[in-house]
Structure 1
């Protein structure tokens, strides 16, 4: 499985980087270094994580949603072509999700960024586009929401926190990654299979009772 391979590579490099600051310095997203022919940092930062909690959360989320998207792509496009497009989605999402940060911080010599969150957000929002009425939530919080509502709240909260500059989380990468994931799937299936994913998304949203909007429990 491609998802398992991505997780294994990311976990291995993150683990090595926890013990090797020189490796972190070489791979981390550092805007001035990107300008000095360090373009690879627009991808390599996604292989690093701040700590084990950061790594486990991202990789567990990727496993849950990535395995589904990988299977969906392969079922719709074929084993080989679907796998290739799945890799393209993940790798390009690393690049696209960090672009707003690069534009904003390109002259900031104090800024550093790391983590696969932007690419993982692309995978999660690809899932939301495909399954808007599937219930989902946040680990350890026993409130489940339909995916479309979860996505709306997540983006709104991320925009708010980005404006507040809250914590050390790169909220703009989450937003950019999520939007990109939905655009990528819409264009991919629209061009290759002539499927209107936007119509597919809205046609599935049906709310007939309060139970369609949330439920308690995992």
Structure 2
């Protein structure tokens, strides 16, 4: 039995984040800083920022979410695109989720962004698309996945326009959209199955 790719991604993220917690120079080199990409062509920052986090709580929340939903999405994706394809899906989600932010702040020397939230959102919304009525526990309260997804999107849209909490809500939204789009392109029948499941609730 092969080792879960999701667990390997989590292990790599925890390791790099932990190293960056203790090494400000490493954090500064890996963080998404738009001028370094535009002027110095450090395109790797579009990916590396997804492997570092602001603090342990930020890291823990993302990795717990990835652990619970990533393993299921991995099982669904591997028969279609293989193990390498799943890893590329996750890495591309990091990039796609942050691109609008990068373009918005391309000349802003004061802007920085970090964290795996965009890619984690892609994984989470893939799960919601496939299992809309599964229960997600939010602070120990069971909530249907589709309800959680709707609340998540509404909150992220509002905070992206009005929030002042230093959280990149745009990356959450674009990551979610990418996860849905990728899944539908990979297996178009998921769309019809989603509608059918939505019309026939089955909680569990």
Q: TM-score, normalised by structure 2?
A: 0.93
Q: 2:192 maps to which residue? A: 199
Matched, 1:54 2:58: yes
Matched, 1:185 2:172: no
Matched, 1:42 2:46: yes
Deviates more, 1:1-10 or 1:144-153: 144-153
Unaligned runs of 5+ in 2: none
Matches of 2:170 and 2:157, distance apart in 1: 7
Q: 1:123 maps to which residue? A: 123
Q: CA deviation at 1:103?
A: 1.1
1:132-151 deviations in Å (ceiling 9; x for gaps): 1111142xx24322211211
Given the alignment, which residue of 8, 11, 14 partners 2:11?
8
Q: 2:94 maps to which residue? A: 94
Q: 2:104 maps to which residue? A: 104
Q: 2:31 maps to which residue? A: 28
Deviates more, 1:93-102 or 1:129-138: 129-138
Unaligned runs of 5+ in 1: 191-195
Alignment check: 8 A CA contact 1:137 1:150 kept:
no
Alignment check: 8 A CA contact 1:70 1:82 kept:
no
Q: CA deviation at 1:116?
A: 0.3
Runs of 4+ in 1 over 6 A off after TM superposition: none
Matches of 2:105 and 2:180, distance apart in 1: 25
Matches of 1:85 and 1:73, distance apart in 2: 8
Q: 2:164 maps to which residue? A: 166
Deviates more, 1:12-21 or 1:145-154: 145-154
Q: 1:154 maps to which residue? A: 152
